[in-house]
A and B are shown apart, each in its own frame.
Chain A
């Protein structure tokens, strides 16, 4: 938060909070900006003004921007408030006539250490989340996402969140009530008393570099510490200063931060940046441990102690769920009052045409199907920017499940071509087989049966591995979470025991360790022409299932069945239900395959397929509302 605080006070960030790509966020209310930021983390209360006052005696011009406007860093060094240039000069050097600098530091550190090792730092819940967001943003950067995502977009979303939830950047932050800094005039002259010298100063970093609040106002901190001491004497249990308050905070319309919510923030930023990561990819990366999520708290600095209520806030024992994060994303975007997101155009990764291509490759289907998916996308109007672009301030805030939708389009195309009634697809396969035997030199016709056999095997293997890996997943962090200081030794002892037992059993396991962490990839299946074991169908032709008629091509199959006859009109949230046994085996297989790829429930995909069909066969639904009998399509 200090990053924000300092930056704001010194006017480094323009009030407009410009977003680099795509759109502009509306400026934060002027009032909020005008007031000095008083937020959580103690340091926010430390006005930059105070630093300035103390730094006034230093009158040299800045070597970089020539301004005379100095502030003090944690280490007591001067920094230029307009360009953030840090000098080598420090406060102590100037006042060296009083006590030798080195001694002060040593003294301070000594005292500080003692205090810290027992209680740890004073920190706020939102700082914890900020730290997690920071880690996640770093991880995304390592995955190849542009640095703007971290420095600008996520940063701004977070600031906006702090403001909207009245935690910072506003007149009366929730935390200062009743905790007004009581000025204790003591011999501590400036900032470095309460600060931790080991921590990197946030001055150099645009956003979250330190991951948490390191700076603090001596007075606030003092008073807070007193209140904390009082609390801990009664019954309060939490390592953070406001853990108890935080878990009790209930306000109408307030979106409270939770660990899953951090992913909603990440996804919003990815969406804003139109990055090539879908929600299902993001969640899969989380599951594969490429993005910190489970036990993200264990990377908090040593001195940020977590226990008691913090357990409930930061401890997670589940992987994120697609539907849940999707809903949270909309919730957060609405809460933040975000404007319309940058348009999803045809050249964006999230556009169904591109995603369809990606998924066709992934599941080893012929490239030729792509023109059909494009056609369906066009007919349903799903490729239009207005349909695809997320607009949280629209009447009904909704975004598109880009990945699920693209996959649903592919399912619809498969149904158009092969009907998937456990009958036609096999007779078409027989035709293709005969043709391929006769014409060995030509481009082979796509054989659904062969494809099924290969995919079934690959899918079963993948799923088995996935299930085994999940069963072996180690959930517990090296830093056990405990309820109170009384439980601490018990928790640590238990951890030690588990580690010892694990060590003992790992000697029984084969010496060759299982292949280390998979490198992250948006593809889970790879198909290449060279692999003779597993046929690659990308180059196969659809001639066997299409027929020419004049200028246009028609599907040989002229039938179609709808996944959903009647949509649910009641007040429940689902639009349709999926009772597996009611559907053909081929359809079940395809839904299972795709829903495994996206790590979603088959029913969710079924729903999406039904929605695509609803658009595609609008007339059928509105006019007859009966079984669709036949369907001829031109292309």
Chain B
């Protein structure tokens, strides 16, 4: 499935789900439980055949979608439309949304379908009941975006934005904000295109001021459109990013910082590593003091200890004057290498080798022992097996050396990894290996010098 379908299902599902998935981030779904609840609800009475056949029809559609049999899915869909006339009012109300989801999926992939068919379908579905108008409009716009029809998408969003019907509910408010924000995002896109144009132009160019004016107007509209959404709790990465970019461009640093701080630290928002990354990058651009940067990354470290920014974090901690920061620096490095995805990260190993040595030299054996305690029963086979020694050496001798050094420091010179690398005769690395051997002898935690 493409990103598009993910988007379709992502932030905008049904009313309740919007709230649960956005607020708590845990939208769980048990289809079997649903059927069980249904049978309980009707008190064991025999389901009507209408209900039976339509639910069978639904599973046939789902199966066909799973197997990418768009044709079959369309065939069953033809029959499934009758659920719009279900005599069970609960099901009747739920039908448009199910039909929209299935139908749009089919039309997205079906070889005989095209933008026109999709438009007709979307326009029809929008007008079945008022409950789904906004959602469908938004997804319709996303579909158009996916097909590169920016102007049409913008028009759809504007239509939806001005649509007023019935009571204003909270779930609808979120949707309207989303629609406006997407519109803002499209405006941002135009703006950044213009900005690029502007950067190519000479300041004395006669067109410069016109383009500049244009850029300015756009940014103003966009900020209005986006700012409402990002005040609501949720994950709004692309919106926040583009909004901040524009604010920064016009020199409103305080505004940008406020948005980012709010996005990262407001407790109502779901935990979101990107929020901290954005804030960190912004602060770095602003040349903020080290302590501030450290405090931002500390939170990121708690959420994603394997993030590539952790090496940067380590450097910051190492440079810090505080001893507790030094200790944390060691922790961070060990943490990064706990993850399978980072095992071949040579920088991390290099840092670790250096830093462990430095720590041991600095008489902080306890720190290392503390970190090693929880890892000593799995790191040897995870990182320092004979197999790894062989393959690491074959792939990347530099990496193998760094690892061997760490292995030697942590496991002693008897360690297989260390021994294997030591045995290898390498002309360039020969000196380095020798030095390493000496250091291991001197500092290894296995045989503390008593």
Contact = CB atoms under 8 A, between A and B. Distances in A.
Interface in B79-95: 79, 81-82, 84-85, 87
B423 interface: no
A497 interface: yes
A502 B81 contact: yes
B75 A494 contact: no
A506 B110 CA distance: 13
Given A495-B85, A508-B110, A470 B124 contact: no
A310 to B, nearest CB: 14
A475 B55 CA distance: 13
Contact of B79 (A318, A472, A495, A504): A472
Given A504-B120, A508-B71, A498 B60 contact: no
B263 interface: no
Contacts of A501: 81, 99, 103, 121, 124
Nearest to B49: A318
Interface in A508-539: 508-510
Nearest to A495: B85
B269 interface: no
A571 interface: no
B78 A509 contact: yes
Given A504-B120, A507-B112, A508-B110, A475 B76 contact: no
Contacts, number: 84
Most buried by B among A473, A474, A504, A510: A504
A318 B50 contact: yes
Contact of A317 (B84, B87, B124, B127): B87
Nearest to B112: A508
B120 A471 contact: no
A498 B46 CA distance: 27
Nearest to B88: A317
A480 interface: yes
A472 B49 contact: no
B20 interface: no
A472 B75 contact: yes
Nearest to B51: A317
A371 interface: no
A500 interface: yes
A510 B77 CA distance: 13
Interface in A463-502: 467-468, 470-476, 480, 491, 494-495, 497-498, 500-502
A322 to B, nearest CB: 13
Contacts of A506: 78
Interface residues of B, number: 36
A319 B106 CA distance: 30
B50 A508 contact: no
B18 interface: no
Interface string B39-61: 00000001011110110110010
Most buried by A among B78, B99, B120: B78
A287 to B, nearest CB: 9
A476 B71 CA distance: 23
B311 interface: no
B361 to A, nearest CB: 72
B74 interface: yes
B217 interface: no
B71 A471 contact: no
Contacts of A468: 60
B53 A471 contact: yes
Nearest to A500: B124
B24 interface: no
A315 B48 CA distance: 12
A472 B72 CA distance: 11
Contact of A470 (B53, B78, B87): B53
B84 A502 contact: no
Contacts of A319: 49
A475 B128 contact: no
A504 B117 contact: yes
Given A317-B49, A318-B50, A475 B124 contact: no
B171 interface: no
A474 B79 contact: yes
B57 A472 contact: yes
B424 interface: no
A476 B106 contact: no
Contacts of B99: 501
Given A472-B78, A504-B117, A317 B85 contact: no
Nearest to B83: A498
B128 A497 contact: yes
Interface string A310-327: 000001011100000000
B85 A470 contact: no
A502 B74 CA distance: 10
Contact of B53 (A473, A495, A497): A473
A494 B79 CA distance: 15
Given A472-B79, A494-B85, A498-B85, A317 B110 contact: no
B103 to A, nearest CB: 8
A491 B113 CA distance: 29
Interface in B304-350: none
Contacts of A502: 78, 81
A470 B79 CA distance: 10
A510 B103 CA distance: 17
B60 A471 contact: yes
Nearest to B60: A471
Contacts of A318: 46, 48-50
A509 B106 CA distance: 12
Given A474-B82, A497-B128, A498-B85, A505 B49 contact: no
A319 to B, nearest CB: 5
Interface string B207-240: 0000000000000000000000000000000000
Most buried by B among A315, A500, A505, A506: A505
Interface in A289-314: none
A467 B49 CA distance: 12
Interface of B: 46, 48-51, 53-54, 56-57, 60, 70-71, 74-79, 81-82, 84-85, 87, 99, 103, 106-107, 110, 112-113, 117, 120-121, 124, 127-128
24 contacts: A317-B49, A317-B51, A318-B48, A318-B49, A318-B50, A471-B57, A475-B50, A476-B85, A491-B85, A494-B128, A495-B85, A497-B128, A498-B84, A501-B81, A501-B103, A502-B78, A505-B103, A508-B70, A508-B74, A508-B110, A508-B113, A509-B74, A509-B75, A510-B71
3 shortest interchain CB distances as A-B pairs: A317-B50, A508-B74, A471-B57
Given A471-B60, A508-B117, 7 more contacts: A318-B48, A472-B76, A494-B84, A497-B127, A498-B85, A504-B120, A508-B107
